[in-house]
Amino acid sequence: MRASRIAATLGARVAIAESGRFGGTCVNVGCIPKKLFAYAAHFRDVLKDAADFGWNVPEPSFDWTRLVANKDREIDRLNGVYERILANAGVRILRGRAVLRGKNEVEINGDTVTARHILVATGSWPQKPGIPGAELAITSNEAFYLEQLPKRALVVGGGYIAVEFASIFNGLGVATTLAYRGARILRGFDAELGAKLGEEMGRKGVAVILNLNPVSLSRQGNAIQVEFNDNTKQEFDLVLFATGRKPNTAGLGLEAAGVKLATDGAVVVDSYSKSSVDSIHAIGDVTNRLNLTPVATAEGMALAKTLFGGTPTPVDHDNVPTAVFANPNLGTVGLSEEVARERFGRIDVYKSAFRSLKHTMGASEEKIFMKLVVDAASRRVVGAHMLGPDAGEVIQGIAIAIKLGATKAQFDATIGIHPTAAEEFVTMRDPAAS
């Protein structure tokens, strides 16, 4: 959508083919409805905290059907907004599934459309493991449309989607188990951050079990019986596989058009998002570079400038901030401690763990955790990580400093806002023991 709109404003004649709803994964079955659900799940903690501050809070009850209906209404509104934005920009909307018939031809509903440039931005699709009974489980796609909440849920996986949905189910009162085949959740993030998130999720009631993987699912009455790799069996009302996503390239005619694909089906592109065929480009999750919505929109804008703005613009994938909307939230930008140590050799690491002022009034033991990773030679801050409420909001501001190459001395010279959790990023003075 971003590529189409910007290209049109730069004077190109643009058409967009879409067989479903506008907004892609993010708007329909991704970050927007996920965060709405995460807000709903966090209210249980908020209600507990309110009592510590003198509020008389009656025993709350939760209406899943109302949440889903309100979410659907908001998504419908966004779909309409996006379609109007495209139409107002002069983009021609073609309703149907597009299939490439050559380097400059696309077939949609039996009609052939020719174009000097073709952009593939078809995203990715959740995958289930090839084990017996996998069809009994759902993926994140279906989780947004459940008719009712289960009493017992198993979430399988250890990445973004797994920890977010485990937190959502748990926060809404579901007895939730998170099973992951690895030794720690959030592989690819700073190791300490993933470990501490697992601890905090466990403290909130999620049964986080590592080195455990389902080998089969079977129906037992109204329940799903799951057999694990340690030969144990458990019953659940719902099983959600969050075990990876695959680029959505099957049946698009890419291979016949000469487009090179990676082993996972991703479109192979250069730094300007051009495929092995000069006229065909690809952006977003379908390229499996950095699968985040703001990255995809940045790639779309850069491509429009490259093709129609007279300004060849590569996309900078360094120091991209991101957040995981688990409970508690996690925010990160730059390098993990492990990657920084490998890259620079000598680094200094600054850490802080503490209960927030808000939680000193009650019994909550939730800890905020913050971490700065500093290149010892240049004193540049090369990584910033946070676990705690609104971590994504805090890290967005820190990301500007990281992107500009701020040093630890510049962090130290910045006066903090007191009393906030965020001020800890500019008050950590002593490095942790190496």
For residue 425, which of 193, 433, 414, 328 has the smallest C-alpha distance?
Answer: 414
For residue 327, which of 406, 240, 397, 388 has the smallest C-alpha distance?
Answer: 388
The CATH homologous superfamily to which domain 328-426 belongs is FAD/NAD-linked reductase, C-terminal dimerisation domain (3.30.390.30)
- Indicate if 418 belongs to the active site: yes
Query: 2-120+246-308: which CATH number, 3.30.360.10, 3.50.50.60, 3.10.20.30, 3.40.50.10490?
Result: 3.50.50.60
CB 286 within 8 A of CB 299: no
pLDDT for 433: 76
Distance, C-alpha 288 to centroid of its chain:
13
Reported as type and span, the H/E element at residue 381 is strand 381-387
CB 44 within 8 A of CB 171: yes
Residue with tokens 């908020």: 46
CB 353 within 8 A of CB 359: no
- Residuewise pLDDT in 10s, the chain (434 residues): 999 999 999 999 999 999 999 999 999 999 999 999 999 999 999 999 999 999 999 989 999 999 999 999 999 999 999 999 999 999 999 999 999 999 999 999 999 999 999 999 999 999 999 999 999 999 999 999 999 999 999 999 999 999 999 999 999 999 999 999 999 999 999 999 999 999 999 999 999 999 999 999 999 999 999 999 999 999 999 999 999 999 999 999 999 999 999 999 999 999 999 999 999 999 999 999 999 999 999 999 999 999 999 999 999 999 999 999 999 999 999 999 999 999 999 999 999 999 999 999 988 889 999 999 999 999 999 999 999 999 999 999 999 999 999 999 999 999 999 999 999 999 999 999 76
Collapse the DSSP code of 9 into the 3-class scheme (helix H, G, I; strand E, B; otherwise coil) and give the result: helix
Query: 134-243: which CATH number, 1.10.490.10, 3.40.50.2300, 3.50.50.60, 3.40.50.300?
Result: 3.50.50.60
Identify any residues that bridge with 13 across adjacent strands, giving them in sequence order.
none
Cis (ω within 30 of 0) for the bond into 33? no
The encoded tokens of residue 405 equal 């190459």
Query: Does the fold of domain 134-243 match that of domain 2-120+246-308?
Result: yes
Collapse the DSSP code of 203 into the 3-class scheme (helix H, G, I; strand E, B; otherwise coil) and give the result: helix
265 burial via Cβ count (<10 Å: 0-12, 13-18, 19+)? middle
For residue 324, which of 204, 205, 168, 169 has the smallest C-alpha distance?
Answer: 168
Look up residue 145 and give its DSSP letter: T
Q: Which of 117, 281, 317, 418 is catalytic?
A: 418
121 half-sphere exposure, CB direction, 13 A CA radius:
28
The encoded tokens of residue 241 equal 């596989």
